[in-house]
Amino acid sequence: MIAIFEKIQKNINWYLRHPHQGLYNKNIRGKIRGIFAKSTAEPIIKFIFYLDTLLLFIRVFFKRINLLGLGATIKLAVPDFSAKNNDKTSQKIKLLYFDLGTHKNADELYWMAHKILPSLGYQYQAYGFEAFPKFFEEAQKRFGEIGNVTFINKALCLSPPPNGKLKFYISPVGDGVGNSIYKDQFQNYEEVDAVKFSDWLRKEGINLEDSICLLRMNIEGAEFDVISDLIESELTQYIDGYFGSWDDVSKIDLQKDELFRSLLKANHIDKIPFHVGDIVSPFRCNAIKYHIITCVEYGRQKIINKNKE
């Protein structure tokens, strides 16, 4: 009886408190649309979206206090990064942004590269990983010749095969949603280059230790691989902010997802949502930007304190 109750409670939680997507999740949206007519369902879903965004604002506000302290939180109420970067130490700090899984159109990276990163007052470099050759080419065309944005056409995994190739399974839906190295139930696939993230960083000579580092992921189940890699290579200490819903592992293997969530918790890795659906609303964008500013300032302070030692 207890086991049945726990199962029911767990199922309810995946609707009302999804471990990756929060309150505004696909489960509850689908259930509402299945129960109510469209004229009723959409206002309810919109209310849930704004309620979830309000909760996100509260969450990132307290995360700022936790990371920076109350004094810095008050000072950052109206941030002026150009003023902060007048000291010589700050001027030497570089901001690195990694977008793992840019997908179709690379919308999240486009938003970051055109609206957020240039406004922070740092010299920055952005890297966008996309395994699917078609989306990789489309993203390159969209961005044109932007010198501080680099696209990499590789799949990320924990253990690349000896020949450096993996099967990348193509979703039959056709829009690219669900393309993954793990979804072998899909009949069509392409062989793509695969790499371990830490190996790629080392090969490219990218120094995380003396840079502010932000990382966003949406790689259809390979999030577990990247996080495991960062932990094993002791690079998590240099990542100042994690972004993305990271729910794709749960769509493939629920038991593996439980291990994934335990791994995140044990290593104090806490991410906030950042998906293409999040940046359609200015209200939601402001919550994400608020946390980006927090993470950037946290990284800056960490580097300055290290240099003083």
Task: Name the residue type at position 200.
Answer: W
Which residues, listed in sequence order, are joined to residue 216 by a DSSP beta bridge?
99, 243
Q: How many CB atoms lie within 10 A of CB 226?
A: 23
Same-domain status, 155 and 282: yes
pLDDT value of residue 141: 92
Q: Are residues 56 and 76 in contact, defined by beta-carbon separation less than 8 angstroms?
A: no
Where is the domain boundary, 78, 113, 134?
Answer: 78
pLDDT value of residue 2: 47
Identify the domain containing residue 31 by its residue range. Answer: 1-78
Q: pTM of the predicted model, to two decimals?
A: 0.90
pLDDT tens for 89-114 read 666 899 999 999 999 889 999 999 99
Q: How many CB atoms lie within 10 A of CB 62?
A: 11
Same-domain status, 58 and 87: no
Same-domain status, 52 and 96: no
Same-domain status, 117 and 146: yes
pLDDT tens for 41-98 read 999 999 999 999 999 999 999 999 999 999 888 877 755 544 455 456 666 899 999 9
Where is the domain boundary, 78, 94, 123?
Answer: 78
Same-domain status, 116 and 60: no
Between CA 20 and CA 259 the distance in angstroms is 13
Of 300, 270, 273, the residue nearest 284 (C-alpha):
273
Same-domain status, 233 and 256: yes
Of 105, 153, 149, 123, the residue nearest 275 (C-alpha):
105
Total structural domains within the chain: 2
pLDDT tens for 155-201 read 999 999 999 999 888 888 767 777 888 887 888 888 999 999 999 99
- Residue 185 structure tokens: 């139930």
Q: What is the CATH number of the domain that holds 270?
A: 3.40.50.720
